[in-house]
Structure 1
Amino acid sequence: MQTRYTSADQWAEAKDGVIPAPYALEEGEQIIDQYLEPVIFHNVNGPDIGVTTCGVIVKDGLYFKDLDNSGELAPYKDWRLSPEQRAEDMVRHLRLDQQAGLVLNTLFNTPVVPTRAEATNAEGKLELGKIYKHHNPGEKPMPGPLPGMTVSIDDSHVLEKHIAAGVYRGDMRCEAGMVALYHNAGTQMLEYEACKGGVAIPYSLHTNPINIGYPDSLGIGAAVIGDGNTDMVYEMAQTDRKMMKAEGLNIMYGPQVDVTSDPRWPRTSGTYGERPDVTSDIAEALVKGYQDGDNGLNEGSVVLTIKHFPGDAPSENGFEPHVPIGQWRIYRTPGSMEKYHLPPFQRAFDHKVSSIMPDYSRIATDGRAVPQTYRGEVTSTEEVPSAYSKELITDLARNKMGFDGYVNSDSGITTVQIYGVENLTEPERYAKAISAGTDVIGGNTDPENIVKAVEDGLLPKADLDRASYNRLLSLFRTKRVDNPYLDPDKADQARVDNFDGAKKKAYEANQKAVVLVKNHEKLLPLAKSQKVCIVTFKGVDSGFAQMAQAMGAGLGNTDEDAALRKTLTEAFEKKGYTVVATPEEADVLYLHVWPISNGLVFNQYAMPVIEMGEIVTDERERNKSQKKTGNKVTVVTLKDVEKIKELADAIHARGGKVVGTCVVCNPWLLDKLEPYCDALTIQYTVSAVALNNALNAQVDVISGDFAPTGKLSLTMVSDPAVIAITEQEIDGVVREICASPNDVPGYDKDQYIDPAILANVKGGSYAYCDADGNYYRSGFGLNY
């Protein structure tokens, strides 16, 4: 590698002309042979210019990045022009294969090693192959969780396929500085396009939301309802934004602003609950916090890709659309899309959110559903996933609701979630999605299909140009084109300053997320002189952790019962309680109950259930369809559930008391727990980074060290009858119809349920009614 210079200082007095790139490859070398330290040129009244293999144009005493090494100051290189002007001009300079790569992103991107020390050789130099995985032609690609997906992401995807973005999957396991180096390495490879007749495009890293110690989403919803404002949400977003920007996590695949409506739906845990107004308020705060204001993108912004437009929660009886078994959204209720599911998106659009992700599922238009309207006009008539629907993406989101950003599909829509487009070829699917208004196809690594679609006349070049423009516009608006390179030291420091600095506020947020739903005879706050026996119950960790791991949620999975008991023991002992080993020694039995849904995303074999215990149910054609196989399967959402009653009866017989905590990721039927508890709290947080905070916060409320303010973000279900399934023949086909509509949130379901059903349910409502007569409807929560 020829190193011409390592500092811009020698060019401080450069006259108009071109400064050569700091690095040039020698014969036989490749850009992946070593990591190049970028050289930064400082404009006094303009942006920094960061280069490795691009030259620098000097004009009128100003520096400009020579993005194609032509020596000409084209409009797209001129930072004095508007982002719109630059993006429009850059599109005209991109090769077709570069455009195809620009509108894709890879799905599983993580540094080879987690620390800079491990990436540094004996000579003290960073090894690029330990930052960004090198392509090994003889290595068999590792398949992803679904057909057509791969987790084997390497430099060939950047160098050969020109894919300019990937989804980071390392959570907090990698040093921030290492993530910044990974981002720089991707940018270094893409910048080399300027030496090969192309244009240098900065590399972008997406990430799913990463918990930084705050409550999980349902807990955020609970805290916000209790607070009556979203100040905490805005502060959290600002903190996270600063860390993300420093380490190169430029785009968030989130927030998930779906409004929960079917209680069995596995993605409920990623929502903020079932209240459209609450989710809308949170969406607004997140846009302002992550995008650094509500006037669109700027240099300080993280791009938000809110999902899943127009709301994925009305799933057919809880099945999830990553696979064909869950492909349908069922709107049985007139106006439900506009009333319940679109408001959070509208609020985000009003505050100029920069990106949206359409959902995988498709709207049923047969007799199971009624047409949905927006301001009096039908929203969709085509039974295809939303990323393929011009009616939803262009007509509804852009033209009617005012969305002005880019549309990023969920991952795999041309290979897996091809519902209704099965008969199209892959190039035809790309053409249909992009022409519908989708700008970025997530998780796909086959740009050749886009090239073929254009060359064969399937995809109008103007539609690809629009998609490229929308993608580039976000890069120019966030000022990432002129100097996309990051300082890994600053990234590490940003994590220290923000993550560590926010620990107190994150803990306070966890306290606010605790919901006290039962306090019989004012048992709480619990006197600290009591002897407490801790017993934990958990489900079979089969699917929830799998989903969270795949989505990058950082869920603490595997066998963590011992760690759970240890944390709880220490929390109670710190308060002054005596923790005893057996219930017979105790004054108070503390039950920590953690049910786990069978709502698998990548392995769906039965309808999701929300009863606690070992539930026998019908087996379905795994992943393929809801057709029953004729076999029965046993779903274990909670092991040893019968022991709850046994333990409670025994300690009550001796005059003792029972305090329970239920972990809620779906609105569980509580009939196997609540009747046996004198006091009951709700815990919404399970992410590994925040779990200890959540557990200690429960004990704070139990002990009286924090007076509870949290309110339920979900309505807890009263009885199996209100979600019971009956078979009905509709349009000549036998369908499974739920007793309560899939598209209506729990707090509002009663009006749509047969009164004869409610008449036989305790409390006469969809909402759970406890032994003290309280209804566990969203918004409910006790204080002392």
Structure 2
Amino acid sequence: MTEQVPLSSRVKQIIEVDGLKFRDLDGDGELTPFEDWRLTPAERAADLASRMSPDEKLGLMVITSRPMGISQHNKEFTSHEGVLDEQYLPIKLDPHTSAGIPFEGTTQMISELNIRHFILREEPTGSRIATWINTMNEVAEDSRWGIPVIVAANSKNEAGAFKMGGTPEDQPFTEWPGTLGLAATDSLEVIESFAAHSRAEWRASGLRKGYMYMADVFTDPRWFRGQGTLGEDPEFVSKAIGALVRGFQGEDGLEADGVALTTKHFPGGGPRENGTDPHYAEGSFNIYPTPGSLEDYHLPPFQAALDAGTSSIMPYYSIPSKEKSSTPQGRLTDFEQVGFAFNGEVLRLLRAMGHRGYINSDSGVLSKMAWGVEDLSTPERVGRAVMAGTDMFADTNDVASVREAYVKGHFTSERLDGAAALLLEELFALGLFENPYVDPDEADRVVQNAEARAAAEDAHLKSVVLAKNHDGTLPLTAESLAGKRVYVELFATGLTVKELDALRRRLAQAHPGISFTTDYHDADVAILLLRPFIGSYFEFVGIGDLGIDDHSHVDIEKVRDIRTHVDTMVVGLNTLFPWLLDGIEPLADGLLMGFETDYGIMVEAILGGFSPTGKLPITFPIDAAAIAVDEDGRCASPNDVPGFAKEQHMQGRPYVYVDADGNRYQLGHGLTYGG
């Protein structure tokens, strides 16, 4: 006997057929195949696509950032009691969107442009997210076919994850360590827990599509986005990506209570040219100087994501450099000199690897990051990308250019129908045609619930890596600190006195038996927490210098002065990059590393609250010479090879950092207090 699936409807009627209930989304009083939840998502998508007009299908092919009504200061430009932003902008300028095009209000986007895919950039409460998405779905339900809205977001559950904008009223989801921190736990169980708890928060809030996670293998240590990866080990990244896809989407494919993932950035953003990034022109090439590196290091995690059934794949902006690569690279032979979203050879490889979902471009490929096709008009770029295999364009509402590309024959009706069917299939698989609404009150109960916070804290604990412990300095226990004064300092960009004071109060309250001081001249022991930071997301600021000093926002002279005044100094380093350690490690009796790990937990490890068990997910270079770039732009170590394997390609030159105690800071290194 067929079991009834849950239905929710605010506009369209519910009809009964064969003792079962269905939403009458086309309003004809009959059960149309696309309304029949007993059919497969692919069957329903094919039926609906065959009924839609070209304009209705074209609207599916863009996904745009859409401010919420709560972000609109002039409430006259909102609707539905302030929930939807309806302001019309004649020209919208944005880091990602096409310049010089109108930006319509929410209702117009849904009802007239037939847009159904949106990106959330704000960080409001779960109930506000739920109310906003519910309201957009109510508008969408009133359309000819009742096609629901789906809202995507970048990853929201890691501390330090990239966010655009932000307000004092933000309420993040439960914050786990950064993705490098998840990798540092060396535990698939932690990653599975992360996925399960995070999925619940997303699902309760109505967020059903995630632009995550990065399957890129971190091979050039200066790449700004490397901090968002799962490290440099292709084997571990593959296992972790598979676990994340299954954890968010479902064990056996995309489920009705799942969150659809867009795995990025195919075929891997790691092989950067000396750390530069294709968000700007100077970094527009992927380079593969090492024979076989693409197949050996960069493709395996994407294969794992495909095997797990990831709903969509996002190609990166880059052009595969023929000039600076050893070619062919496995199955890539032509090295077509255009960005991956326009690159038929690369996207055909993706399909050959087994991808049957849709291909979602990265943001801005029609405007700012149209590498290799800069001379084409926007509609011509659309056509080039669609005919190469791209199905959706990210962070743009430029339906007009997509329509012009279609009308002028830059892409075919067959490709339009194929893209529309794939995009609809995801909506059907997620159950949004049956049950698009969520309970806002439930969202607030689920987001940052106690169980999720406890699991996240456990991950923070397990992400701490003990890199150096000279002469058994650590842990600093109450007994070993008896009669001594302890100074705690935090070096970080944007740090306020209030934040540092809050951390010091937290530690003093947790450890009343320890004598803390705010004057290092009066201290015996110093605990220094460092969060060096370099680089920029959108602009080229030169080839990154991984040294830890003033340029990376650490007052190195103060660090050195502190060392001269204390008997013991312990450093807790926030590891966003494989930093050059030769300016810091020799000063430290103990060195711990975290990866956007909670500062208080780092100190708890230092004070013996637990014994660190984390393992390095990346390898640290021995010195600046190991990553130096010559006058021809060639790096001393190969950009496309993980740190643990670089020495195999460096003709006997060393790459791995070795500390004063002889510890090699290579992938997998990590001490414990027991040995």
- Distance, in Å, in 1 between the alignment partners of 2:33 and 2:306 is 30
Give the 3-state SS of the residue equivalent to 1:705 in structure 2. Answer: coil
Q: Of 563, 566, 574, which residue of structure 2 is paired with 1:648?
A: 563
Q: Is the 8 A contact 2:97 2:363 kept in 1?
A: no
Question: Who is 1:40 aligned against?
Answer: none
More displaced stretch, 737-746 vs 565-574:
565-574
**What do residues 579-631 of structure 1 show as CA deviations (whole Å, max 9, x unaligned)?**
1122232120111121111x2122223222211224xxxxxxxxxxxxxxxxx
Percent identity over paired residues: 34
Q: Is the 8 A contact 1:329 1:362 kept in 2?
A: yes
Question: Who is 2:311 aligned against?
Answer: 354
- Distance, in Å, in 2 between the alignment partners of 1:317 and 1:46 is 56
Question: Who is 1:300 aligned against?
Answer: 257
Change (3 A) 1:714 1:249: same
- Distance, in Å, in 2 between the alignment partners of 1:151 and 1:206 is 22
- Distance, in Å, in 2 between the alignment partners of 1:250 and 1:482 is 14
Give the 3-state SS of the residue equivalent to 1:605 in structure 2. Answer: coil
**What do residues 654-711 of structure 1 show as CA deviations (whole Å, max 9, x unaligned)?**
xx111111111011111121111100111211xxxxx6xx112112211112111001
Change (3 A) 1:569 1:517: farther
**What do residues 87-123 of structure 1 show as CA deviations (whole Å, max 9, x unaligned)?**
1011011121111111111024445269xxx99xxxx
1:204 aligns with 2:150: yes
Report the CA distance between 1:247 and its aligned residue.
1.3
- Distance, in Å, in 2 between the alignment partners of 1:672 and 1:324 is 32
- Distance, in Å, in 1 between the alignment partners of 2:250 and 2:485 is 49
Change (3 A) 1:60 1:573: closer
Q: Is the 8 A contact 1:108 1:153 kept in 2?
A: no
- Distance, in Å, in 1 between the alignment partners of 2:85 and 2:211 is 23
- Distance, in Å, in 2 between the alignment partners of 1:65 and 1:324 is 49
1:369 aligns with 2:325: yes
Report the CA distance between 1:340 and its aligned residue.
0.8
**What do residues 626-654 of structure 1 show as CA deviations (whole Å, max 9, x unaligned)?**
xxxxxxxxxx2134212222221332xxx
Change (3 A) 1:602 1:715: same
Question: Who is 1:745 aligned against?
Answer: 642
More displaced stretch, 61-70 vs 657-666:
61-70
Instruction: Write the letter of the residue equivalent to 2:624.
Output: P
Report the CA distance between 1:82 and its aligned residue.
1.7
Question: Who is 2:185 aligned against?
Answer: 223
User: What is the correspondence of 1:612-623 to structure 2 with a 5 Å cutoff?
Assistant: 612-614=548-550
Report the CA distance between 1:63 and its aligned residue.
2.8
User: What is the correspondence of 1:674-693 to structure 2 with a 5 Å cutoff?
Assistant: 674-685=585-596
**What do residues 160-181 of structure 1 show as CA deviations (whole Å, max 9, x unaligned)?**
322111111123xx22121111
Report the CA distance between 1:573 and its aligned residue.
4.9
Change (3 A) 1:580 1:132: same
Q: Of 640, 650, 663, which residue of structure 1 is paired with 2:574?
A: 663
1:378 aligns with 2:332: yes
Report the CA distance between 1:561 and its aligned residue.
4.9
Instruction: Write the letter of the residue equivalent to 2:350.
Output: A
Change (3 A) 1:777 1:73: same
User: What is the correspondence of 1:453-492 to structure 2 with a 5 Å cutoff?
Assistant: 453-492=405-444
**What do residues 258-303 of structure 1 show as CA deviations (whole Å, max 9, x unaligned)?**
110111100011011111111111112111211121x211112110
Report the CA distance between 1:71 and its aligned residue.
3.3
**What do residues 57-85 of structure 1 show as CA deviations (whole Å, max 9, x unaligned)?**
44334332222223343211222222111
Q: Is the 8 A contact 2:217 2:270 kept in 1?
A: yes
Q: Of 518, 540, 543, which residue of structure 2 is paired with 1:604?
A: 540
- Distance, in Å, in 2 between the alignment partners of 1:273 and 1:572 is 35
**What do residues 214-245 of structure 1 show as CA deviations (whole Å, max 9, x unaligned)?**
11111101012xxxx31111111111111211
Question: Who is 1:570 aligned against?
Answer: 506
- Distance, in Å, in 2 between the alignment partners of 1:500 and 1:44 is 37
Question: Who is 2:57 aligned against?
Answer: 99
User: What is the correspondence of 1:359-758 to structure 2 with a 5 Å cutoff?
Assistant: 359-366=316-323, 368-374=324-330, 377-378=331-332, 380-393=334-347, 395-399=348-352, 401-495=353-447, 499-528=449-478, 529=482, 530-538=484-492, 541=493, 558-571=494-507, 573-575=509-511, 576-597=513-534, 599-614=535-550, 636-651=551-566, 656-685=567-596, 694-728=598-632, 736-755=633-652, 758=653
Give the 3-state SS of the residue equivalent to 2:8 in structure 1. Answer: strand
- Distance, in Å, in 2 between the alignment partners of 1:380 and 1:84 is 33
Q: Is the 8 A contact 1:57 1:63 kept in 2?
A: yes
Q: Is the 8 A contact 1:109 1:153 kept in 2?
A: no
Give the 3-state SS of the residue equivalent to 2:458 in structure 1. Answer: helix
Report the CA distance between 1:44 and its aligned residue.
9.0
Question: Who is 1:183 aligned against?
Answer: 133
Q: Is the 8 A contact 2:521 2:562 kept in 1?
A: no
Which structure shows the bigger proportion of residues in strand conformation?
A: 1
- Distance, in Å, in 2 between the alignment partners of 1:108 and 1:613 is 39
Q: Of 241, 245, 248, which residue of structure 1 is paired with 2:203?
A: 245
Change (3 A) 1:44 1:75: closer
Q: Is the 8 A contact 1:380 1:392 kept in 2?
A: no
Question: Who is 1:545 aligned against?
Answer: none
Q: Of 49, 69, 76, which residue of structure 1 is paired with 2:7?
A: 49
Change (3 A) 1:537 1:749: same
- Distance, in Å, in 2 between the alignment partners of 1:509 and 1:639 is 27
1:284 aligns with 2:270: no
Q: Is the 8 A contact 1:221 1:713 kept in 2?
A: yes
Using the size of structure 2 for normalisation, the TM-score is 0.92
Give the 3-state SS of the residue equivalent to 1:277 in structure 2. Answer: helix
Q: Of 99, 105, 124, which residue of structure 2 is paired with 1:154?
A: 105
Question: Who is 2:162 aligned against?
Answer: none
Change (3 A) 1:223 1:300: same
Q: Is the 8 A contact 1:265 1:319 kept in 2?
A: yes
Question: Who is 1:213 aligned against?
Answer: 175
Change (3 A) 1:133 1:514: same
Using the size of structure 1 for normalisation, the TM-score is 0.79
- Report the aligned-residue RMSD: 2.2
Report the CA distance between 1:768 and its aligned residue.
1.1
- Distance, in Å, in 1 between the alignment partners of 2:477 and 2:103 is 55
- Distance, in Å, in 1 between the alignment partners of 2:624 and 2:32 is 66
Give the 3-state SS of the residue equivalent to 1:602 in structure 2. Answer: coil
Q: Is the 8 A contact 2:210 2:261 kept in 1?
A: yes
Question: Who is 1:36 aligned against?
Answer: none
- Distance, in Å, in 2 between the alignment partners of 1:141 and 1:450 is 18
Give the 3-state SS of the residue equivalent to 2:634 in structure 1. Answer: strand
Report the CA distance between 1:153 and its aligned residue.
6.7
Instruction: Write the letter of the residue equivalent to 1:333.
Output: T
**What do residues 328-355 of structure 1 show as CA deviations (whole Å, max 9, x unaligned)?**
1111001111111111111111121221
Q: Is the 8 A contact 1:143 1:152 kept in 2?
A: no
Q: Of 663, 666, 671, which residue of structure 2 is paired with 1:777?
A: 666
**What do residues 557-595 of structure 1 show as CA deviations (whole Å, max 9, x unaligned)?**
x33354135314522551332111222321201111211
- Distance, in Å, in 2 between the alignment partners of 1:572 and 1:343 is 47
Q: Is the 8 A contact 1:107 1:411 kept in 2?
A: no
Q: Is the 8 A contact 2:293 2:641 kept in 1?
A: yes
Q: How many correspondences in the alignment?
A: 647
1:766 aligns with 2:670: no
- Distance, in Å, in 1 between the alignment partners of 2:623 and 2:71 is 49
Report the CA distance between 1:145 and its aligned residue.
2.4
1:338 aligns with 2:310: no
Q: Please, which runs of 5 or more residues in structure 2 have no aligned partner?
A: 158-173
Q: Is the 8 A contact 2:268 2:298 kept in 1?
A: yes
Q: Is the 8 A contact 1:534 1:590 kept in 2?
A: yes
Give the 3-state SS of the residue equivalent to 1:680 in structure 2. Answer: strand
Q: Is the 8 A contact 1:338 1:373 kept in 2?
A: yes
Instruction: Write the letter of the residue equivalent to 1:351.
Output: A
